[in-house]
Structure 1
Amino acid sequence: MFLKKRFLALLAVFLFVAYAVYRLEPYVRIQMDDRQLSAILESEELDAEIGYLEGSSRKLRFLQIGQDRSKPLLVFIHGAPSSSAWWITMMRDSALRAEANILAIDRPGYGGSGLGNPMTSVREQAENVAAVIRSRRQPRQKVVVHGSSYGGTVSARLAMDFPQLVDGLLLQSASMAPKEEYTYWITHPTSHWSLSWLLPSGINTANHEKLAHQAELEAMASEWDNIDAPTVILHGTDDWLIYPRNAYYACDKLTGAPTVVHHMVKGKQHDLLYTAPKLLKHYLHYLLDRV
């Protein structure tokens, strides 16, 4: 009986570890170094520049396709845990490339921007992202920003603090309302130094960001009327990670935006990049046409 219980306990541990590895592997794989990222871009036949720029407090890595000053600049800001490689599916879209230069930025703590070294201040992240946009933007070039998940939070902060840099804004599945998101129970214990070393670097960054979300979103609450760009809010009705109430909250707060399009995608969850890509591209073209 004792051996049977021991066997079952070991089996349970093995199955748990196997499941954890299965769930975490995509987030580990997406944190590519330059060589891996270059190989992926080459396999996709994408002529993209991989570069680094000093931000206000962190060197950030970026990918860029196109430097045609007659086109607007379309900026992609990823969620957590992710990297600029998340946007390769959008970068391969010929219609977007024909209409805009495309810039994808590794947020601080991910990819080539200090992987595993979290930056929990959304204001500081926005300052660093703004520095990259300024460096890559051509004179008088219009800028459309697409932020996904917590990248949407950073994008909103960017539009609040640097309205002159943002001419169009797409907030997709974005965390915007304090306390309106799901937090895994394991996030708290694994964020402690005694356990955090066990986690992949990108997950560790995401953990620290997650635990700072509420305070950071509360700090943004009085700044929403600074956003003066046409804004699209896109959210799945069944999003269990970043609750749909985030979208309604932002709609009420965007009093300074000349246009607000609010689209709840029926039956969709958090990952609209894969479940509703045509809809994302539709609204990106909408914003690009406006600018």
Structure 2
Amino acid sequence: MLLKMKRLYLLLAFLVFVTYAIYRLEPYVRIQMDDETLSATMLRANLDVAEIGYMEGTTRRLRYLQIGQDSSKPLLVFIHGAPSSSAWWLSMMRDSSLRHDANILAIDRPGYGGSGLGKPMTSVQEQAANVASVIRTRRYPGQKVILHGSSYGGTVSARIAMDFPELIDGLLLQSASLAPSQEYTYWITNPNSLWALSWLLPSGLNSANHEKLAHEAELVDMADEWYHINATTVILHGTDDWLIYPRNAYYACDKLVNAPILIHHMVPDKQHDLLYTAPKLLKHYLHFLIDTV
């Protein structure tokens, strides 16, 4: 009888764990949309004016979303974190004031969405080169470019501004991972890098997991390149961010010695997801960058 009760408790615990895992993973699966699903989602969000397109980067074909092709306006580029996709930015793309003041471009990073879902690209420099190639192709000659990178997208955005300083005029690094070893790593990350377990993960999470394991070395590789950034820069970070620690923001501020304007804003009592908890603040700084450049 006692053995049966133990088995029952173990079964219940396993079912609770599976239910919780599905609940937590579902948003990351849902956001990795194919073109048809993404198009239907944008239609429901009154974003039918957005163009879904593909562009060959340096080593990977990337998918992008774009609204507006007015050469008199700057190009506002959104780079998502991990695991995510360009669909992460639909709420920002809906904003009429941003659409009035800028053309908007959101790009699926390599390994996500329509840019080789589940095929991770762990080199930040290689990701930066691919994304920069799309930006360069989608901008008009002489058009100002503002880059907004969130979380791991902030890492890639910083690398773009380092490697292609002539391309980026304004930079918003939001909740960005920038300092080596200053981020939380889930206990399951290393075991899931093994093939025997990684095949169980949704494709987007598998890409994120491989990026995570390579992240520290990639950030160390960037450490001596910060002086190349010459764009007006805003560093925005929550004081209670337990995933990407606040020390990342202070590290970047110390490194950005050649940014002509540098704003460092720590958001009190906010955690990692400022897109949902502080959207007005994000838009405030995006408009500041638009007006400045």
In the superposition, the TM-score normalised over structure 1's length comes to 1.00
> Structure 1, residues 214-256: CA drift from partner, whole Å, max 9, x if none?
0000000000010000000000000000000000000000001
User: 1:2 aligned to 2:3?
Assistant: yes
Deviation at 1:191, TM superposition (A): 1.2
**Does residue 143 in structure 1 map to residue 145 in structure 2?**
yes
Give aligned pairs, total.
Answer: 291
Equivalent residue number for residue 43 of structure 2: 42
The answer as to 2:62 corresponding to 1:63 is no
* In 1: Cα distance, 2:223 partner to 2:158 partner: 11
Q: Show the counterpart of 1:72.
A: 74
SS of the residue corresponding to residue 103 of structure 1 reads strand
CA distance in 1, matches of 2:53, 2:12: 46
Shift of 1:139: 1.0
Looking at structure 2, the residues matched to 191 and 90 of structure 1 have their Cα atoms a distance apart, in angstroms, of 33
Q: Equivalents in 2 of 1:87, 1:116: separation in Å?
A: 20
Q: CA deviation at 1:213?
A: 0.6
Look up the SS of the partner of 1:118 in the other structure: coil
State the 1:276 CA deviation: 0.1
Letter in 2 for 1:193: W
By how many angstroms is 1:55 displaced?
A: 0.2
Match of 1:81 among 80, 83, 89: 83
Query: Take 1:280 and 1:93, find their aligned partners in 2: how far apart are those partners?
Result: 12
> In structure 1, which of residues 90, 93, 115 is the aligned counterpart of residue 92 of structure 2?
90
Residue 257 of structure 1: how far off its partner (Å): 0.6
Which stretches in structure 1 are left out of the alignment for 5+ residues? none
* Distance in 2 between residues matched to 1:164 and 1:111, nearest whole Å: 28
CA RMSD of aligned residues (A): 0.4
2:127 aligned residue = 125
Cα distance between partner residues in 2 of 1:191 and 1:289: 44
Deviations 1:6-52 (A, max 9, x none): 00001101100110000000000000000000001111111100000
Give runs of aligned pairs for residues 145-184 of structure 1, distance below 5 A.
145-184=147-186
* Aligned-partner SS, 2:166: helix
Match of 2:104 among 102, 105, 110: 102
State the percentage of identical aligned residues. 76
User: Which whole-Å deviations, capped at 9, do the CAs of 1:176-230 have from their partners, x for residues lacking one?
Assistant: 0000000000011011111110000000000000011100000000000100000
Q: State the match for 1:17 in structure 2.
A: 18
Equivalent-residue separation in structure 2 for 1:45 and 1:266 (angstroms): 33
SS in 2 for 1:164: coil
Structure 2 residue runs without a partner (length 5+): none
Hey, what's the Cα distance between the residues in 1 that align with 2:182 and 2:141? 39
Q: Which amino acid aligns with 1:216?
A: E
Structure 1 segments of 4+ aligned residues over 3 angstroms from their partners:
none
- C-alpha separation between the residues in 2 aligned to 1:191 and 1:265? 34
The answer to whether 1:26 aligns with 2:27 is: yes
Q: TM-score, normalised by structure 2?
A: 0.99
